[in-house]
Structure 1
Amino acid sequence: MAGSGKAAGGVLAATCLSTLVVNANTSAVSILLPAISDDTGTPVATLQWAVTGYSLVGAAVIITAGSLGDVFGRKRVFQLGLALFVLSCVLIALAQTGGLVIVGRLVQGAAGSTILACGLSLLSVATSGERQLRAVSLWGAAAAVGAAAGPLLGGVLVGATGWQGLFWIDAAVAVVCIVLTYATVAESSDPDRPRDIDYLGSVLVALTLMPLILGVSKSGDWGWASAATLGCFAVSVVAGVLFVVVEKRVAVPLLDLSLLRNRILVGSTVAILIGAGTINGLMYLLSLYFQSPDALGFSPLEAGLATLPATAGLVVVAPLVPRLASRLGGRQVVGAGFVLMTVGFAAIGFVESSWAYVAFLLPVIAIAVGMGLSNGPASSAATASVRQEQVGAASGVSNMARYVGAAVATALAATVYGSVDANHVADGASAPDALAAGLAAASWVMVALSLLGVLVAVVAIRRVRTGRATLLDTAAAAAAHLHTLPTSASGTGAPAPAVPEGTHTQPA
């Protein structure tokens, strides 16, 4: 039920401010890694877990967090997420070792996904009608602004306060959100929802992803065919199979497996996973390459500024995406986006150590624009391909896919980058040439993934209902690389396969 104007304003302020700070924090961390490495003596290759671990835990928690809010109270769980976020920021800011930074980021992954899931739910129940559409649009805009500002803010703070400054500021903002939520937000829950929570499903998601990412990350040292690497992959497969078995048997599953019979939803989710994975892998690698003294030698601030063209590409294309999808068709726009991403990654695949920053500009812009074109209609298709009562479940699946894609693709890109670099150095190549070879090899992996995205668009994403290019559709397109928001087409899909009795779809 919608609240009063004052209460709705408080919810809007608390949720928008929190999503802004969470997304700014997430996007800034890659810029900080070289500085954290210098301070703690921890290799950047190890600190990769500060990025992939965050996404791994976020994938395992995001749907469960929404369920906890429905059962125990959205305000209560939202505040718990904020408190965990404050704790994680303080832990990271005080950390003297890379291990503690990674632990803090694991906690932050759980906190961030909880804040996003419950914050959007709070906003949805506090408003209705046109006010709800405007509120959700503002929430999406805040998410996009936070993600865009993060790298630049991180670069500024490294020089002004040290890398710890970002986390102290984020902790302070989160405390403000806690106070604001306590003072203005009313409690809400879903009394009709079964009380069961699929905790085991969340654990199995983590157990599926963790050994997979560990095996990919260490394959350069262990060898792809080594017993350790294959053992990690085997554990991941077993955990994945157990997840499916559990989801078939629990009363309230984390993932409604019947949704997997919806080809458009599955195709859209795979497209979202690929898009999120490739863009996160790229930004991680470029943050390191731009700051390496063997490459461009940028300062953290210069590296943050260097990401602005990618941000500009996303911002410029966002308002155009709903109109293009409505006019040309969602599948065509998704496919065109992945083609553009493929071209951009292929261009970086020819990188040489002599390249100046200007040589990266057009490829990076092409990748960012392609990401905007592909992810917006894919997110819209995910929620438009199901019935209204399944929109929450569909958006939850696509949001989990973003975290999974970011974790796996970043680990894969980092592994290829580091392994090729080390092999070239061992073969006598200069450090700059070896580093460029590593970036080129990782880019060609991203080319292969982007081509897979083109195939998914052609084969799986058909007859997609598109929105009417409203303000909500534009906001959803702008935030699509971060979170799936409802659009004017959400819930308009044909009747989905019957859900077995005793199951229940989950809100995002």
Structure 2
Amino acid sequence: MTTERRGGVLLATCISTLVVNANTSAVAILLPAISSDTGMDVETLQWAVTGYSLVGAAVIITSGSLGDVFGRRRVFQGGLLLFVASCVLIALSDTGEVVIAGRMIQGASGATILACGLSLLTIAFEGKAQVRAVSYWGAAAAVGAAAGPLVGGVLVDLTGWQGLFWIDAGIAVGCMVLTVATVAESRDPDRPRSVDYAGSLLVALTLGPVILALSKGSDWGWASVATIGCLLVAVAAGVAFVAVERRVSVPLLDLGLLRNRVLVGATIAILIGAGTINALMYVLSLYFQDPDALDFSPLEAGLATLPATVGLVVSAPLVPRLAARFGGRQVVGLGFLVTTVGFAWIGLADASWRYGAFFLPLIAAAVGMGLSNGPSSAASTAAVPASQVGEASGVSNMARYVGAAVATALAATLYSSVTSGQVADGAARADALADGLGTTAWVMAAISAVGVVMAVLMGRHRQPAGTLADSAAAAASVSHTLPTSATPAPSATP
């Protein structure tokens, strides 16, 4: 492959990754504006966030399998086309239901772009050039995740909330053209052609009812037939998923991986970290913009959340050296402890708090998440033989989507139910909102504290050497697991 074509592959995959991650992190800032235009309440619009993650969890591993079987460039292009279509659908929509549907489609397209884009990149480059290319991809993912809320806030003020989706659609079309011009087709000829579609469907059928129960449980009653019915459907789907994975030739999840203590601990830590930080940022985006709270504009809200996202990304590259010196699980445990303190601090919020009171706990939560997230991701690929690195990476990537979906649904329910309950009891709405935020933050603090336990259960594993590539992988771990210097090389024997 010529240098120009390799450069085109790098550009197309990095730009698409940046756009997908920016789009993902921006949407929570847009929800009040979307609610105002469509007439759908924000509590229901949380499905635009949780639905995205739900579908992403079901698709992230399957999309990689589809690329191996049918061609990585073809599936990557399909993901980009689906992303463009979803952006146009959302931008043209005048109802909340269409926005939610479009975001669910975006969950499938985003997961496909990330999974197949990284595969295309690793095929196009070799050796040290591959390490550099993957590092650039990781940096693009991190920058997109950090910049999303600010970009969303700017565009709401300048173009309306639809502007984000029109611009993203245009950039994705450009990536499609660049892919046609520079990316060669590739597939895995040795891989069986069967794809575990049933496994993907059952993941969605397991998560969907759980999220629905969390979203509606306070309205239906937590012991109601509807809530319990949702949970029973989820359990049945989970049992069916295990049965299917034992039978298919190429399972979505190799159940044997669940015997790996380090991988299980790292995966749960990733799930907790992704879930709690996404949930907190979702609730804070609403609280900052509420007229009875801080009454920020979307731009001001984007700026207000920027210290957290930047703190997460900036602190992450420093983590591999800390892990190499003190040990990965020690850094993970410290990270979750710091995050727990940050969440608990926000749990003390009351109606008199201005933005300055949120600044330090936001930084604490973000830095703590940076400390825990990178080593957890590194552990997930370091703890398995070279032949299982791809599967372990897929499991940890699915965990991010699962955590984000479930924790955000839980946070949305807590925030809404506590606020409405306080108002019904005669409290001023400003006080009720602060109580809703505080309760949500305390629950996220409790969940984050479980991460300290996961750090202990993870056990010992190989540590990254602290290279520049390791720093890029740590920064990218907010959205995707990348190999590190601790990951077994392909030539290694299981």
Taking structure 1 as the reference length, the TM-score comes to 0.96
Paired residues of 1:273 and 1:404 also in contact (CA < 8 A): yes
Describe the superposition over 1:448-504 as per-residue Cα deviations: whole angstroms up to 9, x where unpaired: 11111011111x2111211111111000010111100000111279x99x9xxxxxx
C-alpha distance in structure 2 between counterparts of 1:308 and 1:428, whole Å: 34
Residue 487 of structure 2 corresponds to 490
Say yes or no: does 1:45 pair with 2:43: yes
Structure 1 residue 5, shift from structure 2 partner:
1.6
Residue 151 of structure 1 corresponds to 149
Residue 107 of structure 1 corresponds to 105
Paired residues of 2:145 and 2:478 also in contact (CA < 8 A): no
Residue 476 of structure 1 corresponds to 473
Alignment of 1:52-451 (within 5 A): 52-451=50-449
Describe the superposition over 1:2-54 as per-residue Cα deviations: whole angstroms up to 9, x where unpaired: x3322211110000000000000000000000000000000000100000000
Paired residues of 1:399 and 1:483 also in contact (CA < 8 A): yes
Paired residues of 1:343 and 1:366 also in contact (CA < 8 A): yes
Structure 1 residue 315, shift from structure 2 partner:
3.1
Paired residues of 1:384 and 1:492 also in contact (CA < 8 A): no
C-alpha distance in structure 2 between counterparts of 1:306 and 1:230, whole Å: 39
Say yes or no: does 1:25 pair with 2:23: yes
Give, as a single letter, the amino acid of the residue that structure 1 aligns with 2:476. A
Residue 463 of structure 2 corresponds to 466
C-alpha distance in structure 1 between counterparts of 2:306 and 2:39, whole Å: 29
C-alpha distance in structure 2 between counterparts of 1:173 and 1:46, whole Å: 29
Give the match's secondary structure for 1:307: helix
Q: What count of residue pairs does the alignment treat as equivalent?
A: 493
Paired residues of 1:385 and 1:492 also in contact (CA < 8 A): no
C-alpha distance in structure 1 between counterparts of 2:370 and 2:147, whole Å: 17
Give, as a single letter, the amino acid of the residue that structure 1 aligns with 2:288. F
C-alpha distance in structure 1 between counterparts of 2:462 and 2:221, whole Å: 45
C-alpha distance in structure 2 between counterparts of 1:4 and 1:188, whole Å: 16
C-alpha distance in structure 1 between counterparts of 2:197 and 2:163, whole Å: 35
Give the match's secondary structure for 1:468: coil
C-alpha distance in structure 2 between counterparts of 1:330 and 1:464, whole Å: 8
Structure 1 residue 318, shift from structure 2 partner:
1.9
Residue 505 of structure 1 corresponds to none
Structure 1 residue 226, shift from structure 2 partner:
0.9
Any unmatched runs of 5+ in structure 1? 499-508
C-alpha distance in structure 2 between counterparts of 1:308 and 1:92, whole Å: 25
Give the match's secondary structure for 2:458: coil
Residue 503 of structure 1 corresponds to none
Paired residues of 1:31 and 1:304 also in contact (CA < 8 A): yes
C-alpha distance in structure 2 between counterparts of 1:244 and 1:315, whole Å: 36
C-alpha distance in structure 2 between counterparts of 1:269 and 1:164, whole Å: 35
C-alpha distance in structure 1 between counterparts of 2:310 and 2:388, whole Å: 34
Structure 1 residue 350, shift from structure 2 partner:
0.7
Give, as a single letter, the amino acid of the residue that structure 2 aligns with 1:219. G
Give the match's secondary structure for 2:357: helix
Structure 1 residue 108, shift from structure 2 partner:
0.3
Identity rate of aligned residues, in percent?
A: 72
Give, as a single letter, the amino acid of the residue that structure 1 aligns with 2:363. I
Paired residues of 2:383 and 2:461 also in contact (CA < 8 A): yes
C-alpha distance in structure 2 between counterparts of 1:449 and 1:8, whole Å: 43
Any unmatched runs of 5+ in structure 2? none
Give, as a single letter, the amino acid of the residue that structure 2 aligns with 1:167. F
C-alpha distance in structure 1 between counterparts of 2:317 and 2:267, whole Å: 22
C-alpha distance in structure 2 between counterparts of 1:309 and 1:87, whole Å: 32
Give the match's secondary structure for 1:318: helix
Residue range with higher mean Cα deviation, 180-189 or 460-469:
460-469
C-alpha distance in structure 2 between counterparts of 1:330 and 1:191, whole Å: 37
Question: Which runs of at least 4 in structure 1 moved beyond 4 Å after TM superposition?
Answer: none
